[in-house]
Structure 1
C-alpha cells in the first residue's frame, strides 16, 4: 500500500485550505478568488491539500512552445489528485498533466490548470519473484532505474533519454531501437487512473481491457495515470561498438544482419557525406570500460557544432561542409573507425540530445527503409526528379544526423496492443527522425519546406508520425485513415471515461478527436492565439487558450456510471479513501509493500550524475 502520511506531515504540507488560499498572490483574473473554486473548496476535506501556485510559465524542453497555466498543481497523494480532479470538473477547468516537457508540440500547452506529478513518485511494491515494480506515475525513468538497481534489475529498454516520467513515456508511445523489443508500454502489466469523475480504476490485459489498450498510449486524454505496474529484467552491462560506415554498406546489409547483429542497434545517417554512424550494443559480463577519450568529443565539440549551426542560419550552404568537418573530427574522415565501451545498460543506452531542437519522427515498415532513404537522399542532394518528391530542394540544406531506429511489436502478439501504437503489428518498424537544431533559440530557415517535403515522402510510403514530435501536415482525417477502427475504439473509451472533456485541448481536438457536432465539450479548452517570441526571449511560440464553457454555472450531471455523481465522490474523497473501493483489486497484487522494504524513488536526487554520455559526440 501507499506509505501513509502522519498528522504532522499533513499539517506541514499545507493541510488547511484557508492557509493555502492566504499564501497565493492572485493574478489579474483573480483565479484563486474565483467564487466557484472557493465554494467547491469549502465542500471538501480541508486536511487534503490543494497545492496550487500561480505565475507559472510552462515550456517544452526545447522551448518551442510556452504557455501560462492559471494554476500549477503538484499533488503528493492520491487523495490530493482526486481532489484537484473534482475541483477542476466542478469549476469547468481543463486539466493537463506534464512531466519533463520533452514532448515538443502544443499537447501540454494550457491557460487552464496544469498538474505535475514529480512529488508523486514513490516505488510502492516490489515483487522479487516476478521482477515487477509498482510505482507512482510521476517517477522519472532514470530514478526508477536507480531504484531498480537496488534489486539487481533494470528497465528492459530505453529511448535516447531517461528524463521522462514513466507515465509520460508510456502515454506517447516512447520506444528504443531494437528488433528484439517493442515500445516501452510493452512491459506494462497494469495501470491505475483517476478518471474525470474522480474514481480510480485499475486496468490490465485481463481487467478493463479496452481501457488498458487505450491508456497504453493515452496522450493524456483519458485521466491521470497514478500507478504503473512494470516488468523489469536483470541488471547487466552492455558492450557497445560505434562504427563509421558508408551508406552503401548500410543499405546492402539492411535485409541481412544490420539490425539483428546485436540486441540494440541505432544508426545516425549523414546525408551529405553519404555515411552513417552505426551503434550496436549487446549484453555483457565484462567490467566497466570507459570509451576512449577524444579531445574534441567534450565541450570543444559541443560548442563548435553549436556555433556552426548558428552561423548556418545566415549562410545555410555551409551545412554540407559543417557535416564533413564536425563528424569527421569525431569519427574520422574515412570509414571503418570505431569507438567501444562497456557500461551499465541503464546508462549505456542513453545519448546526449545536445541543443534545443525540432524532432519530426515517423514510423514505417522496415522493409521500405532502403527505398525511403534513397529517395530522401536524392532530394537532399538536389536530385529532385529521382526522389519523386514534388517540392523544390533548391536552397535547402539541413542538419545532421538523421536518426534511424527500429522496433518490433509483431513478436509480442499475446500482449494487449495499444489502440494508438504507431508501430506495425505485422512486421518490424523503422523510425526516421528528421532533427533540426534551434541553435541559440533560432529556428533554422529550412524547417518549413524540409518538413513539408519529408512528411510528403513519409505519407507516400505509408508512414505514421510519432505522437510526441513536431509533425506539421497530418490532421484528423489523416489519422482516421491511418488508424481506422482502432482510433474509433480509442475515441469510444475516451468519451466514456471523460464525457465532459476535462482532459481535452486544442491539439487533441484538431488531430485525434472527432469534429464536434455542435459545441465543444463542457470542460474543453480551445486555442485563442499564438505569439512568436523574439530572439531576446529565446525564441519559440507563446500559446494562449480559453475554456470553451464560459462559466461553471449550470453544471451538467453526465456521469460515467451510477456511482460517479458528485455526491458519491464527496463521500469517497475524505480520509477513508485508502480503504475504499479505489483499491478493490489490491489483493491481486503480489510482493512486499514499499513501507516494509524502505524502498523509495527520488527523481530529483543526482538526476544527471549517472549519465555516461559526458563526451558529447561519443554517442550522438
Structure 2
C-alpha cells in the first residue's frame, strides 16, 4: 500500500481514502477521478452550483470507492448526466457523480432483441449502437442528449396513445446501493425496487446498467399541418393521436393556430426533410435576439412570435401539407433551439379541452372565462405550448405500454388500483409452467394522459419577465384538473406535502423502498431533501 495514495484529496475525503482505495487483489490503488472547484450548470444555464467534488468513475470499483467514502465522511451524492433538466434536481454543494465514462455496451442478445448498456451512455449513442444491429427503440422523447439513467430516472415520455414512458422498454436495472452492494431488479426479481427505480430521481443508489427491450428498426412517414386552434380543441375526440401511432401538437397562441404532427410506420423509401427556417444559424440568432429585446419591451413578444410563425410555417398557412420518410429516431426527435424554461404537467386526456379553453381565455385576458385568480397583466408567453399524449391504461393488446410494471412515481395519470399490491397479480400458464406478473386495471378506470408543456425561452440566458407568475397561474389550472408536474422541469408552486398528495400510495411505497436501501441518506441531496422528502434529512 502506498501511504500517500490520493493524498491530494485528503482535504475532501480525509486520509480514509488511502486504505479504502487499496485493492489487495492487484496490490494497486483504485483510481479516484475527482475534480474540485468544478462549476456545474444545467444545459439551459438556468441554475449553477459548485459541488465540492465532481466525480467521473469509469469502473464499478471506482464507483464503490466513492460511495464508501461518502458514507464514512458524511457526504451526500447527487447524480447528473447531460444536465438537460432545467431545474435544480442536479444542483449540489456536496459530491456530484457523472457517468460519462461509464457508457459502454455490455451485451446484445439477438434471440430476444435485448441490449444491456452501462447507464451513462447517452440515448443518441445507444441509438447508434442499436442501428448497427438493425434495431431501435420503440418510442422516444423529443431529444436524445440525455443519459439513459437520467431519462429513466425522471419519467421521460414521447407522444403516442400506443406507447407510454421510455421506461416501458426497460427489462432490467442494476443499481449500486449505499452499502456498495450491486443489486439487479426486474418485474420478476426485486419488483418493489424495480418499480421504485423506474423513476428513481437518483435517490436509491447509482444505476450502473440497464437492459432494454429493443425492436426491429423502422421508418416513419410523418406529416405536418397547420390547423385553427379553436377547431383543434373542438375536434378533440377525433384528434390525430387517435388515428396515428405517433402524434403531437404545438400551439401558437398569438397566431391562433396549432401545428399538428403525426407519423406511422412505413416501408416507403426515405425522403429528405423539408427545409426549416430555424435551421439557418443567422435566423435562429435573429429569433433569439428579437426575444432578447422583448425581455425589455414585453409587448413585442406577440409581434415576434407571429413573425416567426409565418416564416417557419408560411407554406402550411398557404394550405400545403409537408412531411417526410425518415428513420424513427430522426423523425421523433426535434430541435429545441436555445436556452429555455419548461414547465410540463400531466392531466387526464379528457380534461384537455376545458383546461386549454381556460388557458386561452387567461392569455387573452378573458378573466371571467379563465377563472384563474392570478393577473395576466404584462405576461406575454413564448410559442409553442406543446401538447402531447401517452398511453396510460391500454385496452388494445397490440400496444406496448404496461408490459413493465408502473413506476411508483409515474407522472402519467395512473389509476390508484395500479399502485396497490393487488395490481401485480400472479397467473399460471395453461401448461402449469412458470408464473408471470401482469398489471390489471379495473373496468372503466382507463385514462390516457395529456401532457401540456409551457415553454419560455431564455434568449442569451436572460429570463423573460414575470415568468414565475405565469407558471404559478398555469400550475394552479393544472392542479384543478388533477395534474402532476414533470419531475425534472421548472414547476414553481409544488411543496413537499403536495408532492406526497399527488402520488399518494405510490409516494409512500417509493419512500419505503428508498429508506430500505439508503437508511443513512447518502443519496438525499439538496433538491430531494428540500422538495420531496422533507423529514429524511440529508447527511451532513
When residues 18 and 75 of structure 1 are mapped into structure 2, their CA distance, relative to the original with a 3 A threshold, is: farther
**Which 5+ residue runs of structure 2 have no aligned equivalent?**
395-400, 415-445
Quick one: which of 444, 448, 453 aligns to 1:433? 453
* 2:12 match: 31
* 1:120 match: 102
Helix, strand or coil at the partner of 1:242: strand
Within the alignment, does 1:418 sit opposite 2:407 as a pair? yes
Helix, strand or coil at the partner of 1:222: coil
**Which 5+ residue runs of structure 1 have no aligned equivalent?**
1-15, 525-547, 550-620
Could you report, residue by residue, the CA deviation over 1:276-319 in whole angstroms, capped at 9, with x for unpaired residues?
A: 11111111112221123356642243122111110110111111
Query: Normalised by the size of structure 1, how large is the TM-score?
Result: 0.78
Structure 1 distance, partners of 2:116, 2:298, is 50
* 2:331 match: 348
Structure 2 distance, partners of 1:18, 1:267, is 62
Structure 1 distance, partners of 2:321, 2:21, is 62
* 1:577 match: none
Q: How does 1:35-46 map to 2 (within 5 A)?
A: 35-38=15-18, 40-41=20-21, 46=28
| 1:86 Cα offset (Å) | 1.1
Deviates more, 1:373-382 or 1:49-58: 49-58
Query: Normalised by the size of structure 2, how large is the TM-score?
Result: 0.89
| 1:174 Cα offset (Å) | 0.3
Structure 2 distance, partners of 1:249, 1:81, is 54
Quick one: which of 151, 175, 186 aligns to 2:133? 151
* 2:486 match: 466
Helix, strand or coil at the partner of 2:290: helix
Could you report, residue by residue, the CA deviation over 1:462-493 in whole angstroms, capped at 9, with x for unpaired residues?
A: 10000010001011111121111111000000
Structure 2 distance, partners of 1:493, 1:461, is 29
Structure 2 distance, partners of 1:504, 1:224, is 12
When residues 393 and 335 of structure 1 are mapped into structure 2, their CA distance, relative to the original with a 3 A threshold, is: farther
Deviates more, 1:247-256 or 1:408-417: 408-417
Q: How does 1:287-306 map to 2 (within 5 A)?
A: 287-293=269-275, 297-306=279-288
Q: How does 1:152-551 map to 2 (within 5 A)?
A: 152-293=134-275, 297-332=279-314, 334=317, 336-411=319-394, 412-413=401-402, 415-425=404-414, 426-516=446-536, 520=537, 524=538, 548-549=539-540
Structure 2 distance, partners of 1:337, 1:309, is 28
Could you report, residue by residue, the CA deviation over 1:321-349 in whole angstroms, capped at 9, with x for unpaired residues?
A: 11211011111183633321111112221
Please say if residues 272 and 381 of structure 1, whose CA atoms lie closer than 8 Å, have aligned partners that are also in contact: no
When residues 42 and 287 of structure 1 are mapped into structure 2, their CA distance, relative to the original with a 3 A threshold, is: same
| 1:39 Cα offset (Å) | 5.6
Please say if residues 22 and 30 of structure 2, whose CA atoms lie closer than 8 Å, have aligned partners that are also in contact: no
Task: Report the count of equivalent residues.
Answer: 500
Please say if residues 20 and 65 of structure 2, whose CA atoms lie closer than 8 Å, have aligned partners that are also in contact: no
| 1:225 Cα offset (Å) | 0.3
Q: CA RMSD in A?
A: 1.9
> Which structure ranks higher in relative contact order (CA pairs < 8 Å, sequence separation ≥ 6)?
1
* 1:613 match: none
Could you report, residue by residue, the CA deviation over 1:545-583 in whole angstroms, capped at 9, with x for unpaired residues?
A: xxx53xxxxxxxxxxxxxxxxxxxxxxxxxxxxxxxxxx
| 1:108 Cα offset (Å) | 0.9
Please say if residues 360 and 434 of structure 1, whose CA atoms lie closer than 8 Å, have aligned partners that are also in contact: yes
Structure 1 distance, partners of 2:284, 2:250, is 17
Structure 1 distance, partners of 2:239, 2:498, is 34
Helix, strand or coil at the partner of 1:283: strand
Please say if residues 297 and 330 of structure 1, whose CA atoms lie closer than 8 Å, have aligned partners that are also in contact: no
Could you report, residue by residue, the CA deviation over 1:423-462 in whole angstroms, capped at 9, with x for unpaired residues?
A: 0223210000111111011110020110111111111111
Structure 2 distance, partners of 1:305, 1:498, is 47
* 1:75 match: 57
Quick one: which of 105, 108, 116 aligns to 2:87? 105
Please say if residues 21 and 31 of structure 2, whose CA atoms lie closer than 8 Å, have aligned partners that are also in contact: no
Please say if residues 169 and 404 of structure 2, whose CA atoms lie closer than 8 Å, have aligned partners that are also in contact: no
Could you report, residue by residue, the CA deviation over 1:365-419 in whole angstroms, capped at 9, with x for unpaired residues?
A: 0100111111001100111111010011121111111011110131244531100
| 1:494 Cα offset (Å) | 0.2
| 1:36 Cα offset (Å) | 4.2
Helix, strand or coil at the partner of 2:259: strand
| 1:35 Cα offset (Å) | 3.4
Deviates more, 1:501-510 or 1:309-318: 501-510
Structure 1 distance, partners of 2:199, 2:269, is 37
When residues 18 and 284 of structure 1 are mapped into structure 2, their CA distance, relative to the original with a 3 A threshold, is: farther
